[in-house]
Amino acid sequence: MTQQEDFSKRKLWGGRFTGETDPLMNRFNSSIRTWGKTMYAVDIQGSLAYCKALTKAGILTEKENEEMSKGLGQVKAEWETDQFVIKDDDEDIFTANERRLSEIIGKEIGGKLHTGRSRNDQTTTDCRLWLMNAVREIIDFLTSLVNVMTTRAEHEVDVLMPGYTHLQRAQPVRWSHWLLSHTHALLADLERIKQLLPRIAVLPLGSGALAGNPYGLDREFLRNELGFQSIGMNTMHSVYDRDYAMEFMQWAGLLTGHLSRLAEDLIIYSTAEFGFVQLSDAYSTGSSIMPQKKNPDSLELIRGKSGRVFGQMAGLMMTMKGIPTTYNKDMAEDKEPLFDCASTVKDVIRITEGVIATLVINPEKMLAALSADMLATDLADYLVKRGIPFRETHHISGQAVVMAEKLGCQISELSYEQLKGISDAFAPDVIKVFDFEVSVENRNVIGGPHRAGIREQVAYIREKVGRA
């Protein structure tokens, strides 16, 4: 066996051991086939920057740096073209990339890449780099969704619909107001993830296994080279900190919870019993046995994915809660749930945008669902404006509702004389109360459903989205 072949079979930690590892343990300990491919690009990005830092510190010559950079470029190209061959002894992406680099440029140079660097700081550096990229993409997707919802609300401001509490018809609102109620939740999510990015973009590289390294590596150079916003100021904390991953997953749980509620509303509104909206065929499926059915599978999957995301977050938090300082192998369980969580979030946001952009609303059905009893509070408000305390007007309006029920008619169908029999405070102009458009326009507080309120909300959201 040649020295080159011998080196290629070494594990990064193998010098301490004399016996062979159980093949089952090899598989149990390996991550290369589960999440390794996800990180190849950021691992090479980190290694290229580290080569420059080693050169700057005098560990590598300029020629060695050039050879190493060229070799890492070839490794990346092999991954990108599906030519990279994973070997049985490739424990993880870090081992695989370094092994292949040494095959390309020789162990004399390739073996210097790991100088002062541990997989402890390497793995979390790569993970943070990956998540920084994912978060920027998610910000773009979420911004697009918020813009689509805002534009739709602006254009469909004329449409009235019932607002609900306890899933019972409560008061008339605008369709735009309902849509913007969900948009505001997503706007807050957008602000939160932007605030999270600086806490992800903290450089661990240079921390070594836990105590730094003795080579005088310029961590500020590494921070700038890799696009991090700050440097981890305690090397022990840097190698075990996974708060950034858990915080992202907590954020993802909140976001998908909001999207799940939006999906649930639309599922209800799309039923034949409501008929307020109709989903595009692109986001629906049929039944295998009932030809007439059009199922809102896109919305049901959005609703279901929220449970998946929350479970991933809870699982990682349970893994991390009792681990002693600093790095422990338990922490290898951070990546699969994190990667899947980020991928799920991207898909859910994009599918939601597609659903919102293409669904058809039925204004006539929404209007038909409005009933005069929903104006009972407006009737009480009418009497308040005539100087009667609200607690009394609430009781009077309730009496009118009871009378209409007994007579089998709508409250709006009660005559002036009938209302006058309940309270002398009613005047002939009471008939003006029973107008849904007037009811909505009268609720003209900041953030209300009136037309000017919708315009103000649209402008507010656009201003917030336009900020960095």
d(CA 378, CA 384): 10
d(CA 442, CA 181): 19
Which DSSP category does 33 fall into? T
443-462 b/e (C-beta count within 10 Å ≥ 16 → b)? beeeebbbbebbeebbebbe
Pairing of strands 230-231, 160-165: unpaired
d(CA 249, CA 335): 11
Cβ atoms of 82 and 240 closer than 8 Å: no
Pairing of strands 168-174, 202-203: unpaired
Q: How far is CA 22 from CA 16, 19, 26, 216, 388, in A?
A: 16, 9, 6, 39, 85
Cβ atoms of 154 and 451 closer than 8 Å: no
Count of positions (residues) in the chain: 468
Rama region for 227: left / alpha / beta (φ>0; ψ in -120 to 50; rest): left
Catalytic residue IDs: 166, 287
Torsion sign (Cα): 442, 448, 454, 460? positive
The amino acid present at 391, given as its one-letter code, is: R
Three-class DSSP category at 447: coil
Half-sphere exposure of 444 (CA within 13 A, CB side): 6
What is the CA 244 to chain-centroid distance, rounded? 14
